[in-house]
Chains A and B, each alone.
Chain A
Amino acid sequence: MNNIFSNIDAVKHMTAAISREADPERAYRIMEVCGTHTMSIARYGIASLLPANISLVSGPGCPVCVTSQADIDNSIDLAYGAARKLDSGAVQITTFGDMLRVTGSDGRSLYNAKAERNNVHIIYSPLDTLSLAKDNPDKHYVFMAVGFETTTPMAAGLVHTAAQQGISNISVLSMCKTMPAAFDLLLADPNAKIDGFLCPGNVSIITGSSIYEPIVAAKKAAAIVGFEPMDILSGVLEIIRQINKNDYHVANTYTRAASSDGNKKAQALTNKIFEPCDARWRGLGWLKGSGMAIRYEYMDYDAISLYNLNTRREEQPTQCRCGDILRGYIAPSACPLFGKACTPMTAVGPCMVSSEGACAAYYKYRI
């Protein structure tokens, strides 16, 4: 591979420095918050390059994985026309592909709806919804918005553009979330025992580095890193140094894309369309102010009010342990369903479905 950030000599140089500096007398538990990091770490076998006393733990940073069962059930109901106030034939769903195979409480998924009703469209950009809606004015398109700070501006861009162009047959089902409340929960959780966080570079491109301040205020290490092996390893080295010196600050080794202020234009677009609300996370429960709801001024584009969806509906308990995995309590292989009842083709929980889920990464790379 000719990518300079996965150059073998550079990687050896970096892992040597990590082995030299890691204190063999203590254990280091480092959480990679983002699903893309989980995937990179598994793919490049990064855990095997590190001394045994450094463990990497997956966190709640895959948007599909943290989407609550209630929200999944709502989106599947919408696709099947079960929600109230629906002329069911007219409702069309647009979604990122990762959402398709997540199963609802009744065992159905958007994938089933796509096969049975042909009303689910996989898109790459939320804006792809616009051309579908323009071409089919008699149908109503609902975009399934999942994502963190990185992806919320794109859902906002859809509402903004639809409003500007006067397109009325579009709405957004917002399941968007923000990271700070999840960090607070993990920092306050005595069972998680995390010493440092690899912070997602893609989120930082939008938010800047300030959202990680509570981590260092709680005396935990933090490094903003990109997604190549050298990015991740330099973050690990930085975190080990902060822990050894007991000197905590938000380090940034992803300066080629993320600045300290973030992207103000994207932040302004998000704030124009969305406002914070409480949100339910899989495995973490209700977190105050961690969701993004569409503002009152744009309620015509809000699928939750348009279709009167109940975001507080009850959830059925299952054997799936995605919740414990998202909190860093257990590794995917410790779940009784892993690789048996639950595989990527017959996924029970979202961590196995999403291409960025911890279970999918562990399964694919046989960790």
Chain B
Amino acid sequence: MIHFYPLQKLAKYVNIERIEVRIMCVGIPAKIIECDEISAIVDISGSQREISLLTLDAQAAAGDWVMVHAGFAVTVLDPAEAEETLQMMLDMANE
């Protein structure tokens, strides 16, 4: 049985299947376990790896979700923002 335990919370916002396919243009959501100024250890669907924070434009701390692109965090993800976006899209279709 495959466990996606740490990602279950974010599964509502991000397509889990995509994580298995590590192709270069696809961002992968990951949760920061620990970090310093330039690198972080993240949890990606249960496996841990080191990523670089060289290209992260915002402050991130343990517990934050980041979008990881080819081993570099590029943006901090906000689950609340994802909910709002969907509502915005549904409202848009109602106009």
Contact, CB under 8 Å: A151 / B89: no
Contact, CB under 8 Å: A6 / B83: no
Contact, CB under 8 Å: A263 / B81: no
Inter-chain CA distance A147–B69, complex, in Å, is 12
**Smallest CB-CB separation from B56: which chain A residue?**
A265
Pick the residue among A3, A17, A36, A263 that contacts B14 (CB under 8 A).
A3
DSSP majority for the B interface? mixed
| Nearest Cβ on chain B to A225's Cβ, whole angstroms | 10
A255 on the B face (CB < 8 A): yes
Inter-chain CA distance A160–B55, complex, in Å, is 12
B1 on the A face (CB < 8 A): no
A16 on the B face (CB < 8 A): yes
The size of the chain A interface, using a CB distance under 8 A, is 55
Contact, CB under 8 Å: B57 / A5: no
**Smallest CB-CB separation from B38: which chain A residue?**
A161
Asked whether A255 and B69 contact (CB < 8 A) given A2-B11, A228-B15, A356-B25, the answer is no
A125 on the B face (CB < 8 A): yes
Contact, CB under 8 Å: B11 / A154: no
Asked whether A269 and B54 contact (CB < 8 A) given A98-B23, A147-B25, A238-B92, the answer is yes
A13 on the B face (CB < 8 A): yes
Pick the residue among B18, B55, B69, B89 that contacts A230 (CB under 8 A).
B89
Q: Hey, which bits of chain A sit against chain B, CB under 8 A?
A: 1-6, 10, 13-14, 16-17, 34-36, 62-63, 96-98, 124-128, 146-147, 150-151, 153-154, 157, 160-161, 202, 205-206, 227-228, 230, 234, 237-238, 253-258, 263-266, 269, 355-356
Q: Hey, which bits of chain B sit against chain A, CB under 8 A?
A: 11-16, 18, 21-27, 51-52, 54-57, 67, 69-72, 74-75, 77-78, 81-86, 88-90, 92-94
List of 4 A-B pairs having minimum Cβ-Cβ separation, nearest first: A125-B71, A17-B93, A266-B55, A96-B24
